[in-house]
Every structure is written in structure tokens, then in C-alpha cells.
Amino acid sequence: MQRGEHQRADQSVDVHAAIVPAGARCGGRVTVGRTPGPSRHLVTMRFPLALSVKIAGHILKHKLRRTPKFALVLQLEPLHTCNLTCTGCGRIREYSTSLKNLVPLEKCLAVADECDAPMVSICGGEPLIYPQIEALVEGLRRQGRIVYICTNGVFMRKKLKDYLATVHRPEHPADEARLRQLLAEQLIAEADAAIIRRGPEDQRPVIRPSKWLYWNVHVDGLEYTHDLIVEREGVFRECVAAIKLAKRLGYQVATNTTVYRETDVREIEEMFKFFSSLGCDGHTISPGYDYDAAKQDMVKRLGKNPEAFFLTRKMTIEKFAKIEEWGKAFTIFGTPVYQEFLAGKRELTCTAWAIPTYNVQGWKAPCYLMTDTLHSAGHYPTYQEMLTQVDWDRYGVVNGVARDPRCENCMVHCGYDPSGALGTNYQRGDNWKNFKYNFWPRPPAYPADAELTKRVFNGVSIGQGHLAKAKTAAPTSAIPGSNHQGQSSAAALSSSGGARARDLSGTKMAAAKKE
Ligand code: SF4
Ligand code: SF4
């Protein structure tokens, strides 16, 4: 441990800092935010009291016991299979040889029990592909945990309709009126309504609304940008429909955004406004830095400079210059201390052990983004083994100096948001700031705005097919370091998710937007 680090941890009583899972793409990136959520009786509070109290109790318990390291959020990846191949997702690349493997349900529940984090973020891969996702959510809820389902949104409406089928009573006028309303809003189709009216076919569990549960939907910008990044047209529109349906059915929903080098922050503000107007309960936002798996792939296999695509620390600070302003206008997850860090106003040290990741290979060390096989085993069989065997002082950036070069540009939630909550770099007034942020009234929802909605649906919805447009807009010669001379962009992009396609992200976004 560096001198000065953790020096005033004992002063932190930042118990309410409801750090929450977010930021990993659905699977590939993690953002640690805060517990959001509308509680009917505490609707004016930024975060639900019961959840804040639960996390507060957890931190306080460990502070009193002087537990040196403990988990706040478990990033649980029961599988790495995904229906998308998003640009910049490290998961489906790092674990490409084990994409078909699953963590058995019992093991998922056992590891949650083992690390005892009050919050579990189920990610992946796409967690809704996990065959026992409903039982997993139910099991974690039985353990008393706050559950986040980090999803790309594509299968979300299916799960919502499964739930609706279990509660719909065709003979009940109010239920029928609700169904007709959902039909009118095109959130369900006639065929869906018929299935819902028939009721469930078996006794399988469904994912029910709860104040302890959040859908955390991956959205990286407005329609055009998001569909470019996920490399499939129509995904943004599906996410919006799923979010609307979830809100109509009483679920809590957060959005989860990664900021890239080419991300226009004005677009991010528009996105916050739009999803706030839909009644979303919070937003997580995280810098997409040059994490190891993606960087190695880019350097070794493609001979490209990652700085052309990912954020450096300096760029992150520039992009997040208005994060505190956003925190006032919208329900942004992440402690105010972490927000100050992102805005470049203070330093924090990495506390990646507080947000451990468990996946098909075990407990991933040292963090969600990096698997260090040079100085650690890479994956460990138990959380305790990982805690005791990993040399945590090797990682992070302290006083501007990277302890490990791979950490140099990292400012992600999973490394640094817990530091804000745990008070590892305590400064006078931090507790009050965090307390105020949690218990102050929630920023009001942004008013519905037809002009805003028009600006939001700026892609395939108005006939702007992103793939076709990007093919025209990003000629091969425009790709920095391209070693595919002679290959047309169209050919490169035609294999959505292929190496060429994903590495074109920055260029696609920049070139398409110049049009
Ligand atoms: S949806 Fe995209 S970011 Fe999420 S796991 Fe799949 S490929 Fe990765
Ligand atoms: S600073 Fe390093 S160890 Fe910490 S979260 Fe970032 S990459 Fe991981």
C-alpha cells in the first residue's frame, strides 16, 4: 500500500453510498452506480430508503469488524454467450473459447452467498439467454440481495410478457384495459395479447417487479449511434419499447452507457433527457478505456493503436467534465466523490476487490476488465483465495503514477466508485456530500418532448440504415492503420461482429456523423 492510501478509511461513515452494478456493457463492461428506484412511499427520494439502508448496514458491519476487504457488488456472469457482437465488448472476445459454458444455477447462488455482496449484477454475455435466469433472480432475491439484470434489451420484452401472462385476468376489466393500452402503444402485438390471455403454460418462475430488482439496459447513445455500436439495426428501438413496457408494468429500470472516444457528450445529455422522460429510475455511465483484452487484440492481431479508439485518462476527464451537473439534473448512479474523480477534481485509489467478478472460469483477478495472468492466477476458485493471494497493491493509479501500465487509463466504476463509497481517500465533507446525494429529492423526470423524440430516433426508424450508411461513410482508406487495403468497407462490415467490423467503430461514428 502506498503512503497516504486508505489513510482515513476509519473516518468514512459513507454507509448510504448505494453502489450499484452498472457499466459493464450488459456483459462486457461494468459500471458501478447507485441503487436507484422509485419507491411509492418515498417517491421524492433519489434512491429507495430500504436499499440504501441495506447497503449502509453492510458497510457499517464490515467497518465495525474492521474487515480489510469485502464485496459490495458481485458481477455474476453465468454465461458469456450473447446474441450481439458489440464493438468494444471484451467479454465475447476474451472468453471466446468458452462461450457455450454455463455456471450452474446452484454454483451461481453459492458464490453469491460466499462473497455476500448485498448487490448482484447479473451480466454476461446476455443474461436473458441463461436458461435458468428466472430461478437465478428468484434465488438471489431469497438470499435478500438487490439484483440488477444487465441486458442488451433484445429479449427483455419476452420476459416481461411472460410475467404479464401470470398476472393477467381476462375477466377483469382493468387488466383488459391495460392490455389494450399496451397494444395501442405497440408495446405488445395481437399475438402476444392472445398468449397473455391464455396464461402461463407451466409453473416456471417469472421475473416479477420488485423494489429490489432493476433492469439495467445497455444504451450507448441515441438510435443511430447505439445501433452502430451494437452493430445491429433496430436494437435501440427495441430497448426503448422494452423500457416503456417495463415501466408500464411497474419495474425499476436503469440505463447503462459507456462513453467512447467518439462519443459526443451533447448526445449523451439528450439520451439522459429522453430516458428520464420515459420514467427511468437512474442512469449509469462509465468511460470505455483501453482495457486489456480489447487492447491486446487490437495491438497484436490488428496492429492498431488503441488510443485511436478508446479513452485515455485525460480524454475521460474531458468527456466527464459535466458529470456533476448531470448528477443534479438526472438520477446518475455513482457517488459524488466518484463523480469528482471522473471530472478530474481529485484522485482515488482502485478498490476492485469490492466489485468482484465470478464467471465460468472462477473469480476473475484483479478486476472486471483485466485478467492478470502475469502476477496472479487470473481466476481463483474462491473469493477469499482471490482476496488473500492477489497483490492488490500492484494495481490502480496512485498520485498520477500507474502501478501497472494496464491500469494507466482506467477510471471505471468497478475500480473507483467503491473507493468513493468506502472512504478510502476520505476528504473532509465527503460523508455529507454522499449523504445529501442519497437522501435529497430525486431530480424530476424530464418532460415528454416530441422534438426531443424526433432527435432521438435518428437512425433506422427514419430510414437511416446504419450499416449501409456506415459502409458509405467509412471507406477503408479512412481506417487508421488499416492493413486491409483493397478490401471494401462493405465487405468488412458485412460480417457484423468480425474483427474488422468492431474495430471500425470509432471511424464509423466519426465518418457517419460528418455527413
Ligand atoms: S450485448 Fe454487446 S456488450 Fe453486452 S455482452 Fe453482448 S456483445 Fe458484449
Ligand atoms: S485500475 Fe486496474 S485493477 Fe483497478 S479496475 Fe482499473 S484495470 Fe482493474
DSSP string, 376-420: S-SEESSHHHHHHHS-GGGSSEETTEESSGGGTT---HHHHHHHH
Residue 441 region by backbone torsions, left for phi larger than 0, else alpha for psi between -120 and 50, else beta: beta
State residue 492's pLDDT score: 29
Distance 475 CA to ligand 2 centre (A): 35
- pLDDT (tens, 9 = 90+) of the chain, 515 residues, equals 333 333 333 333 233 334 544 444 444 433 333 333 444 444 567 888 888 889 989 999 999 999 999 999 999 999 999 999 887 677 887 898 898 899 999 999 999 999 999 999 999 899 999 999 999 999 999 999 999 999 999 999 999 999 999 999 999 999 999 999 999 999 999 999 999 999 998 888 999 999 999 999 999 999 999 998 898 999 999 999 999 999 999 999 999 999 988 789 999 999 999 999 999 999 999 888 766 665 665 566 556 676 666 788 999 999 999 999 999 999 999 889 999 999 999 999 999 999 999 999 999 999 998 999 999 999 999 999 999 999 999 999 988 899 998 898 899 989 999 988 888 888 888 888 888 888 788 899 999 999 999 999 999 888 877 666 665 654 433 333 333 222 323 222 222 233 333 444 555 555 555 55
| pLDDT on residue 483 | 30
Identify the bridge partners of residue 363 per DSSP, sorted by sequence position. 358, 380
Q: Cell 458489440: give the residue.
A: 86
Q: For residue 453, report the distance from its CA to the centre of ligand 2, in Å.
A: 37
79 Cβ inside 6 Å of ligand 1? no
124 close to ligand 1 (CB < 6 Angstrom): yes
DSSP tag of 299:
I
Rounded CA separation 112/75 (Å): 9
Ligand 1 site-directed mutation target among 75, 77, 81, 84, most atoms within 8 Å of CB: 84
Ligand nearest to the CA of 152: 1
Q: How far is CA 372 from CA 88, 307, 356, 412, in A?
A: 19, 21, 14, 17
Other Cβ atoms less than 10 A from the Cβ of 488: the count is 12
The reported pLDDT for the residue numbered 112 is 98
Using the CB atoms, write b or e for 346-373: b if 16+ within 10 Å. ebbbbbbbbbbbbbbbbbbbbbbbbbbe
User: Rounded CA gap, 507 and 304, in Å?
Assistant: 13
Three cell numbers, residue 355? 466489485
Q: Look-up: residue for cell 492493413?
A: 483
> 3-state DSSP call for residue 180?
helix
Ligand 2 atom at minimum distance from 414 CA: 5
Q: How far is Cα 461 from Cα 236, in angstroms, rounded to an integer?
A: 10
Element (H, E) at 158: helix 156-167
Q: 3-class DSSP state for residue 455?
A: helix
Distance (Å, whole) CA 111 – CA 322: 38
Residue 66 one-letter amino acid: R
Grid cell locating 353:
476487490
Question: Measuring from each residue's beta carbon to the nearest atom of ligand 2, which residues come in under 6 Å?
Answer: 350, 352, 366-367, 369-370, 395-396, 406-407, 410, 412, 414-415
Choice from 350, 376, 425 to test ligand 2 binding pocket (greatest atom count within 8 A of CB) = 350
* Long-range contacts, 447-450 (Cβ 8 Å, 24+): 447/277, 448/277, 449/273, 449/277
Interaxial angle between packed helices 505-514 and 466-473, expressed in degrees from 0 to 180 and rounded to the nearest 10: 90
Sheet with 73-76, side-by-side order of all strands: 282-287, 252-259, 213-218, 146-151, 119-122, 73-76, 357-359, 362-364, 379-380
Measured by CA distance, the residue closest to atom 8 of ligand 2 is 367
Sign (positive or negative) of CA dihedral 103, 105, 107, 109: positive
pLDDT of residue 107: 98
**Nearest Cα residue to atom 3 of ligand 2:** 395
Look at residues 23, 180, 12, 38 and name the one whose alpha carbon lies nearest to residue 88.
Answer: 23
Q: Give the whole-angstrom CA distance, residue 150 versus residue 127.
A: 7
**How far, in Å, from the CA of 125 to the mean position of ligand 1?**
6
- Nearest in space to 267 (alpha carbons), one of 86, 509, 102: 509
Tell me, using a 6 A CB cutoff, whether residue 108 lines ligand 1. Answer: no
φ, ψ (nearest 5 deg) of residue 10? -65, -20
In 10 A of CB 129, how many CB atoms? 18
What residue has cell string 482471490? 386
